Structure 1
């Protein structure tokens, strides 16, 4: 005999109710699939984060190495500051600020100290090769002289720029006969400031004139006159009384 659903009911037999059970199983399977997808997404996100951290670490190390690399200069240079004090001897008014031997260290010093335009009258900055004192009497300087640029007091921005550019030209060995250069000086005075390039020897006229012409050309001083004076004359004369040997 073949039983039907009605016959089963008639016989008092209970039919299994599969609908709700199947729904619960499907719901659990769906939930497991969602959890598995979430775990996979979390794992993928974690892997991506680890990859990014690794890339960042590599880039940071490269940057650190680049920052640690410095560009050495041909010479060590010393920065000096002189401030007038009538109660002291000239040499006692002279102070050694610091020395530098890389491009990066120069800029650290340059942007730390005041620009010439912020200095009071009767203050000087000097930048000289290490071992050379910024004095006429120094053994390296006594037979030399200086190319001098007179700067009007109103030309503050230009004074700062020329000072900055001349230092870079010197420490960067941009001049022919750079070995003849001992240092750079800027004097802040009442009527005008004086920017000077000091040379070791005044005996070789061709070398002195070459440095002067390069100075004018590289600083763009086409309409500005410059003059050369001997240190030995500056030792015995002052201001406008110092004899000018060459003019450009």
Structure 2
């Protein structure tokens, strides 16, 4: 997780200047002053469009919450936002690389697709927070062989299920897509089929790839 990031940080710790001794979160979870940089900066978004939302006004409900680029700042965010299991129906968290909006129309997404799985609420309610956490950790920790293909991940809260989805930059290379899908499934340890579908096929109902 703590390697070169998009801002040119090296894989060494970010430490204070001067004579102060650096203290990591592993030494002192409250008074640490050193941070472990991520390879990329990530932005957390939230929306709860409600019943009156449609394709024309959905973007108005999308809120950019915060951007972080270190391990410690990720945990600071995660520990201070509402957990997925407590969100109201129709809510969505989106975690995307900085500069990419969680929209099909974004230039990074428009030629891509998504891996997704639906998790029944009655079976996964107690586990969904951990499943979402492992999904985010797989992304910010760059667990994927084709990491540059990963744009972001989404968790959606619906009346009967939760949905986890990972968005990719492209959708025309089956081997690359399948590699990402297999890694995602292994990282979060969930039974059931993950399906990949290009964004442009979502409305036409093309047959998805499955792992």
Same fold, TM exceeding 0.5?
A: yes
Deviation, 1:216, is: 1.5
The alpha-carbon deviation at position 91 of structure 1 amounts to 0.4
Q: Which runs of 5+ in 1 are unaligned?
A: 1-60
Deviations 1:66-118 (A, max 9, x none): 32110000000000001114268100010000000000000100111111100
Deviation at 1:243, TM superposition (A): 3.4
1:119-155 superposed Cα distances (whole Å, 9 cap, x missing partner): 0000000000000000111111011111001111121
Q: Which runs of 4+ in 1 moved over 6 A?
A: none
Structure 2 CA distance, aligned partners of 1:136 and 1:247? 21
Q: Secondary structure at the match of 2:126?
A: helix
Partner residue, 2:7 = none
On the 8 A contact 2:115/2:181 being kept in 1, the answer is yes
In the alignment, which residue of structure 2 is the partner of 1:177?
A: 146
| Residue in 1 that maps onto 2:111 | 143
Tell me how far apart the structure 2 counterparts of residues 176 and 157 of structure 1 sit (CA, whole Å). Answer: 30
Q: What is the aligned partner in structure 2 of residue 51 from structure 1? A: none
Corresponding residue of 1:95: 63
Counterparts of 2:74 and 2:126, CA distance in 1: 20
The structure that is helix-richer by fraction is: 1
Q: Where does residue 217 of structure 1 map in the other structure? A: 186
Matches within 5 A, 1:3-18: none
Q: Quote how far apart the aligned CAs of 1:244 are.
A: 3.8
* 1:167-206 paired onto structure 2 within 5 Å: 167-206=136-175
| 3-state secondary structure, aligned to 1:157 | coil
Query: Could you tell me whether the CA contact under 8 Å between 2:138 and 2:184 is conserved in 1?
Result: no
1:84 aligns with 2:52: no
Distance 1:87 1:147, change over 3 A: closer
Larger-gyration structure (1/2): 1
Of the two structures, which has the highest relative contact order with CA contacts closer than 8 Å and spacing of 6 or more? 2
Q: How many residues align?
A: 181
- RMSD across aligned C-alpha pairs, in angstroms? 1.6
SS at match of 1:179: helix
Contact 1:82 1:124 in 2 (8 A): yes
Alignment match, 2:206: 243
